[in-house]
Amino acid sequence: MTSAPIERTSVLRRIRQAGKALTTPLSPDDYLALVNPLWSQRELRGRVEKVVPETENAATLVIRPGWGWRFDHSPGQYIGIGVEIDGRFHWRSYSLSSAPLVEGKTVSITVKAMPEGFLSDHLVNGLEPGTIVRLASPQGDFVVPDPPPDRMLFLVGGSGITPVMSILRTLDRRGTLDDVVLIYSARFEEDMMFLQELRELSGRHEGFTFHERFTDVDGILAPEQLDDVCHDWMDRETWACGPAPMLDAFTDHFQRLGREDHLHVERFTLATAGTEGAGGSVTFGDGGPTVEVDGATTLLEAGEEAGVNMLFGCRMGICHTCDVPLAAGRVRDLRSGDEHGEPNEYIQTCISVAVGDCTLAL
């Protein structure tokens, strides 16, 4: 990660800085990692402790993070995970399913193997405990405020349960699971992750209502059916996570009723702000190729197209693997529409487009 994790104390920072004078051009961590791969902050790392099957095609990976990891993530956030397969690193993002600050200093993500998902299948079926993986710090704003609102509704489809699970476990631990409705759809019973734990949770908490919906039998939940399942949904703060068509349908529905401010949505695909950069001539490094790029093509895509070997990770602006310094010019962040143009400012090539001519320092 180019964005260095924040040191916990200034003493540690100073020691590391002094050590750097001895190990330049490497960092002290490059040598410490020879002793234990987790003793490095250069790249956040973790060791896979356990792989716990959840359903036939989903598993929870329990990961012990190495140095530089902060256990203060908010429930509902996701992390990046980089896994080496046949010599090559592949990055994906997954919601943390564990509650923050759990005992044992581990975090967990729950992964569902997708039919076409090359990496998810490997994570669920091929990852040996003991494997060292790369990690990216928790991110995302699909979070519940603390203290939580009085009445909450969670609309979940499929693997969208993972961030919600982290939220529910946290509410449970804090004893604030007072008036919460969960509507959770999966294709059939065996396909529903955390089913036993959720049933047990609703048994223990009178205020927690758990609606199980099996779409093979009941069909997909339409926004109009919301009144039947949760009559007071209009009074609730709502969090939704699941397949894109489901999220689109509920977003439209909430907008029509003027309640979009009370709907929090988590999408697993890149959502752009819809603003376009103007495009321009982009030069990839000193002596590198210069190509004309339009305002919709990301700098990463343009570079790959021009035959430049560029680092990439999640390709959706999370993991910062693709960060490079901007030598000249301006770029626009596709997600926020913000422009960046400070000399030598690090930009994320996977979500940035050119605003006029610019040069990347590769």
Interface residues with other proteins (CB under 8 A)?
Answer: 1-2, 21-26, 30-31, 34, 42-43, 84, 86-91, 134, 285-290, 306-313, 321, 324, 361-362
Q: How far is the CB of 128 from other proteins (least distance, A)?
A: 14
Placement of tokens 């690193």 in the chain: 89
| Structure tokens belonging to residue 245 | 């068509």
What is the dihedral angle through the alpha carbons of 146, 152, 157, 160, rounded to the nearest 10 degrees? 0
Q: 20 vs 267, which CB is nearer to other proteins? A: 20
Q: Which is nearer to other proteins, 1 or 246 (CB)?
A: 1
Instruction: Find the shortest distance in angstroms from Cβ 231 to other proteins.
Output: 50
Measure the CA–CA gap between 360 and 225, rounded to whole angstroms: 51
| Alpha carbons 182 and 12: distance in angstroms, whole number | 44
Least separation, in Å, of the C-beta of 321 and other proteins? 6
Shortest Cβ distance from residue 135 to other proteins (Å)?
A: 12
CB 58 within 8 A of CB 113: yes
Considering beta carbons, is residue 11 or 22 the nearer one to other proteins? 22
Q: How far is the CB of 23 from other proteins (least distance, A)?
A: 8
Q: What is the CA radius of gyration of the chain?
A: 22
Based on CB atoms, which residue is closest to other proteins, 33 or 156? 33
Peptide bond into 343 cis (omega under 30): no
Contacts by 16-20, CB closer than 8 A, 24 or more apart: none
Cα-based distances in Å from 5 to 69, 135, 320, 335, 355: 8, 11, 12, 23, 30
Which amino acid is present at 23?
A: T
Q: How far is the CB of 267 from other proteins (least distance, A)?
A: 24
Q: What is the DSSP string of 317-353?
A: SSS-TTEEEEEEEEEEETTT--EE--TTEEEEGGGEE
Of 167, 238, 160, 173, whose CA–CA distance to 205 is shortest? 173
The smaller minimum CB distance to other proteins, of residues 1 and 241, is found at 1
Q: How far is the CB of 85 from other proteins (least distance, A)?
A: 9
User: How many C-beta atoms surround the C-beta of residue 330 within 10 A?
Assistant: 20
> C-beta of 1: minimal distance to other proteins in Å?
7
Distance between terminal CA atoms of the chain? 15
Residue 100 or 329 with smaller CB distance to other proteins: 329
Token pair, residue 267, equals 């999408």
Distance of CA 202 to the CA centre of its chain: 27
Shortest Å distance, C-beta 350 to other proteins:
13
In terms of CB distance, is 143 or 310 closer to other proteins? 310
Cβ atoms of 181 and 153 within 8 Å: the answer is: yes
Token reading at 296: 């919709």
Is the peptide bond preceding residue 147 cis, with omega within 30 degrees of 0? yes
Name which of 42 and 151 has its Cβ closer to other proteins. 42
Structure tokens at 361: 């320092």
Cβ-based nearer residue to other proteins, 145 or 287 = 287
